[in-house]
Structure 1
């Protein structure tokens, strides 16, 4: 049989991207937004109990994975309907938006921290808390670095990483028109070349690819996009139908449970609460396999296990997320799910606000202390602001001013 350009290596024609957003996508991305806020807020002891403390992967993987799924729906559909050139044009436009969102978020946050240091009388330097002192010592050099993405402080690294991964989408879509095996080879090889620890261990460190994070040192980006693209394109491929959905059966659930239990034995919670000191040594000896910067393979496997359980719990099309019945408990749960989903639908706007908000909440905790009640209060306030941001962004996107005029 002669293969057409759209056929895979097996002769099957890949399924086009879905035209309707999967509710599970928005729900879990919304969950990631709340977790990211807690994780980024200094002095917030709630972050000692986020899912990342029970294993290796964290909300960053959820965000990137779900972004890959959302990109398959949004951008994949453009490639399907309008071709490679216009699909790539839409990717470039999105990167342009993310670039300026990154620049504005950094400058606003830096200004806010300077204002706190300048007009407050605190022993702590809030500019120093994000290691931004060097930026203000050499503003000329670092402004150039900021705009060329050669100065990427750790706290501001997710959006640049996401933008670099998006720029790989046109390559992946072009390869997919030839063979999905080429897509798998490209993604796998690029991920392998991002594994600095492994490459150094086997004596071919010169193959490593990364990006410089600051002009005055050789420190790379904290999130290496060449490694993290594996998580993104896993979600992308699942939503495109290039990878079949895993089966739901006792054997699969058992295997995934073993992965999660094994991960827990060397987790932060196990070390902190159960005194598993040997786990600290294990993590140190196996850093290359669980590294966050390079998206280590054990970290990736742990995330796949988490994602599988999330998929099973949600049920087909997220049916299990919506409790049935007219009881007060069922109504409350449906309301909670609806609010989390709303946040996930506006994840970029919510994420930008959370970057600034986390520093403000950290400042508030410094002022009030982080005892249980103040901590709970500021976390709830933060969650409410994220929710308000989601509703506000949705309102502006609806362009209500274009509706019929009032009579």
Structure 2
């Protein structure tokens, strides 16, 4: 939520987002953890019930996500026609969807033209569609081939091999005229973290990967190396933010900092942060260092906080709520802003707290749904 809120005035709390400390954002964590859970859960299901049930469940989930995506899209488009000045305010986020004709609506329905903040679900759907095949390959001992293929796709994007496909889609949708697919993520590049998580989860489910051997408190060398990487990228972020980098150096650095195509900077920074966090969660409380034990305890308490547990249990519904809230708050800011601090920061805190509203409502209805469910016969 915090990284998506846009206010016309300054608000300090945005500087507290971890994305300001490097080149890692919430999207990387969501995609990796999604892959990890798919691997853990559906490898076990594959071993119990077979490939057909895994395929049915994952494809069904992808279809459900598509329904939510279309619902969010239609809700925002409806609001853009009903709310005064909304199209002017949201024009940069919606692009040609409002006045571009049916072709842009069709492209949006086909997941090729994605409004701002609605582009995480489409790539997740694509990953779910191919996950049954990946799980089948891992189950038959081909995990190395899966990782090699994933790395090859990522590298192909870095080298521009995907550009002919983009050109093909342009001509396909407009009959030769120009329609540039719009998305904040290139799925062929970002898949590398989903597939990495899926492979790790699947191998762990099969007992072929022992996390504690990689996350050993008695061997903190890799952890220290990861922390060194985090400090390195923090220094680059601070230098760029404060304008200390010479233009020619910055130009060279930015060649590897392509977020859409998940460039090398984003990949290495995520690997460093992911390993450091995993080490703290698994091994930190058994570390010989008092400071690391304290840090690990605080991190575990943070991740098990009731607020995070609540919204995590209804992540899809919370995501839908957050998209609508971000759009509406931008409209409110345009009408009444710019607000002075601390009002903007307080509004941002209220927006974050509001994520609990759909989760609490759904949680309160869960006992009702269970009570209304048919009960087994006692006869």
What is the TM-score when the length of structure 1 is the normalising length? 0.75
Question: Counterparts in 2 of 1:40-119, with a 5 A limit?
Answer: 40-43=4-7, 45=11, 46-117=13-84
Q: Which residue of 1 aligns with 2:100?
A: 138
Q: Which residue of 2 aligns with 1:39?
A: 3
Structure 1: distance between partners of 2:192 and 2:82:
40
Is the Cα–Cα contact under 8 Å of residues 90 and 327 in structure 2 kept in the other structure? Answer: no
Single out whichever of 309-318 and 228-237 deviates more from structure 2. Answer: 309-318
Structure 1: distance between partners of 2:34 and 2:15:
25
What is the TM-score when the length of structure 2 is the normalising length? 0.80
Pair 317,403 (structure 1): closer, same or farther in 2 beyond 3 Å = farther
Structure 2: distance between partners of 1:80 and 1:258:
40
Q: Which residue of 2 aligns with 1:360?
A: 328
Match of 1:227 among 170, 174, 189: 189
Pair 365,289 (structure 1): closer, same or farther in 2 beyond 3 Å = same
2:340 is the alignment partner of 1:376: no
Single out whichever of 211-220 and 290-299 deviates more from structure 2. Answer: 211-220
Is the Cα–Cα contact under 8 Å of residues 284 and 296 in structure 2 kept in the other structure? Answer: no
Residue deviations 1:145-200, cap 9 Å, x none? 222223223432111111111112022112113322222222222222332xxx24
Is the Cα–Cα contact under 8 Å of residues 211 and 221 in structure 1 kept in the other structure? Answer: no
Is the Cα–Cα contact under 8 Å of residues 116 and 126 in structure 1 kept in the other structure? Answer: no
The 3-state SS of whatever aligns with 2:323 is helix
Q: Which runs of 5+ in 2 are unaligned?
A: 287-292
Is the Cα–Cα contact under 8 Å of residues 5 and 348 in structure 2 kept in the other structure? Answer: no
Q: Which residue of 2 aligns with 1:351?
A: 319
Q: Which residue of 2 aligns with 1:394?
A: 363
CA RMSD of aligned residues (A): 3.3
In the alignment of these two chains, the number of paired residues is 348
The 3-state SS of whatever aligns with 2:6 is coil
Pair 348,206 (structure 1): closer, same or farther in 2 beyond 3 Å = closer
Question: Counterparts in 2 of 1:174-185, with a 5 A limit?
Answer: 174-178=136-140, 179-185=142-148
Residue deviations 1:90-139, cap 9 Å, x none? 11101111111111111111222332335x8xxx812313143x222233
Match of 2:129 among 129, 142, 167: 167
Q: Which runs of 5+ in 1 are unaligned?
A: 1-36, 325-329
Structure 2: distance between partners of 1:308 and 1:223:
23
